[in-house]
A and B are shown apart, each in its own frame.
Chain A
Amino acid sequence: MFDILGFLRKKEPASGSVAKDRLKLVLVHDRVNCSSQVLEMLKGDIIKVISNYMEIDEDELDINITQTRSEDNKGTVPVLYANIPIKSMKRKSSDD
């Protein structure tokens, strides 16, 4: 049938691509959780490195794996998201 508004409506991506994007994200989560300490170790390492340069609020920080729209807008990509509140900048880095 002649769908007048059809070409104005944004075309839904085909399910094969949707499946691929979803799988990629799910597997990132699964693989991190499976080694179960990996995210914790990663957090620990990040805190250590950043603490060389600035004092951060370790209780309020948020480090997680999530997803965001990819640059070419063709789907979503997994990202490591880190929100780290700074208490103060150190005058010089602690491994001088």
Chain B
Amino acid sequence: MGEVIVVTSGKGGVGKTTTAANIGCGLAVSGKKVSLVDADIGLRNLDVVMGLENRIVYDLVDVVEGKCKLKQALIKDKRYAGLYLLPAAQTRDKDAVSPEQMKKLCENLKEEEFDYIIIDCPAGIEQGFKNAIAGADRALVVTTPEVSAVRDADRIIGLLEANELNNPSLILNRVRTDMVERNEMMSMDDVTEILAVDIIGVVPDDESIVIQTNKGEPAVVVEGSKAGQAYRNITRRILGEEVPFMNLKEEETFFSKLKKLFKK
């Protein structure tokens, strides 16, 4: 029986869509059958981050309204075996779907024998959020080490627990280790202490995310990408493996030592 994982945050722009895309892709590359679901109706982005924007024929709202079958709306990613995307509608809004309909959709996806169904939740705490969590078995909360993001993550964790999605796992995104070392950015320990949830991954702030998103290819399959490596680790942890956290310190090269000398 498949597992429905919702990727949420409260705050916008902290990396939910990027995380959903990379985890989904990572799981597919590990041999699982994965369906990505974009629950951000009206502001869809999972399609463009995955580079599948030209293949959309039907979307989630069409399925829920009975205009097409689920199989017709699911886009099979030709690059990664086992990976499918159910895109959101762009010209409707969050009221087009109800939590009951989302629950039914998740059940139908489980019947299609997906191992994992990854739901990209929209920002906020209103209808979009309620829809996205309706069919979920488990939640991943994404935050950055910034005051506003952590505050919103706390609120979201409270709402998840009120909806019986207990023990969400935390992903700390866009960490800049150089700033953490100078105590100008909160660390993984600071954030987990404040939020009191288990952390499942730390993703460094990495240019390769911008570059890969430009190309429409997830970073998780790129060997040299540090963020990609972090997502590969998170994928393994989701699959039950114990993986030590990456050492995010920048390796000192002779050139970087020279740069530091001149900065003083």
A16 to B147, CA, bound (A): 10
Which of A26-34, A48-56, A59-67, A77-85 forms contacts with chain B? A26-34
Interface string of B179-218 (1 = CB under 8 A from A): 1101111110010001000000000000000000000000
Which residue of B151, B155, B158, B190 is within 8 Å of A20 (Cβ)? Answer: B190
For chain B, give the interface size range: 10 to 19
Say whether A27 contacts B151, CB under 8 Å. yes
Closest to A22 in B: B147
Question: CB-CB < 8 A to B146: which residues of A?
Answer: 19
Query: Which of A14, A17, A20 has the most C-beta atoms of chain B within 10 angstroms of its own C-beta?
Result: A20
Closest to A16 in B: B183
Q: What is the distance, in angstroms, from A42's C-beta to the closest C-beta of chain B?
A: 18
Say whether A30 contacts B155, CB under 8 Å. yes
Interface residues of B in 127-181 (CB under 8 A from A): 146-147, 150-151, 154-155, 158, 179-180
Say whether A15 contacts B151, CB under 8 Å. no
Q: What is the distance, in angstroms, from B162's C-beta to the closest C-beta of chain A?
A: 9
Q: What is the distance, in angstroms, from A24's C-beta to the closest C-beta of chain B?
A: 6
> Is the CB of A46 closer than 8 A to any CB of chain B?
no
Query: Which of A24, A27, A31 has the most C-beta atoms of chain B within 10 angstroms of its own C-beta?
Result: A27
Say whether A26 contacts B186, CB under 8 Å. no
> Is the CB of A86 closer than 8 A to any CB of chain B?
no
Interface string of A5-48 (1 = CB under 8 A from B): 00000000011110110111011001100100000000000000
Say whether A30 contacts B151, CB under 8 Å. yes
Given A27-B154, A30-B155, A31-B154, verify A20-B186 contact (CB < 8 Å): yes
How many A-B contacts are there with CB distance less than 8 Å? 40
Given A20-B194, A27-B194, A31-B154, verify A14-B186 contact (CB < 8 Å): no
Say whether B155 contacts A19, CB under 8 Å. no
Question: CB-CB < 8 A to A34: which residues of B?
Answer: 155, 158
A14 to B181, CA, bound (A): 11
A27 to B179, CA, bound (A): 24
For chain A, give the interface size range: 10 to 19
Given A23-B150, A30-B155, verify A17-B183 contact (CB < 8 Å): yes
Say whether A16 contacts B187, CB under 8 Å. yes
Say whether B186 contacts A16, CB under 8 Å. yes
Which residue of A14, A23, A30 is within 8 Å of B147 (Cβ)? Answer: A23
Query: Which of A14, A19, A30 has the most C-beta atoms of chain B within 10 angstroms of its own C-beta?
Result: A19
Query: Which of A15, A16, A34 has the most C-beta atoms of chain B within 10 angstroms of its own C-beta?
Result: A16
Say whether B180 contacts A16, CB under 8 Å. yes
A14 to B182, CA, bound (A): 8
A50 to B179, CA, bound (A): 49
Closest to B187 in A: A16
Which residue of B150, B154, B155, B183 is within 8 Å of A15 (Cβ)? Answer: B183
Say whether B151 contacts A19, CB under 8 Å. no
Say whether A14 contacts B184, CB under 8 Å. yes
Q: What is the distance, in angstroms, from A57's C-beta to the closest C-beta of chain B?
A: 34
Given A20-B190, A20-B194, A34-B158, verify A14-B151 contact (CB < 8 Å): no
4 new A-B contacts at CB < 8 Å, known A14-B183, A23-B151? A14-B184, A16-B185, A16-B190, A22-B147
8 A-B residue pairs with Cβ-Cβ distance under 8 Å, sorted by A, are A14-B184, A15-B183, A16-B187, A16-B190, A20-B190, A23-B186, A30-B151, A34-B155
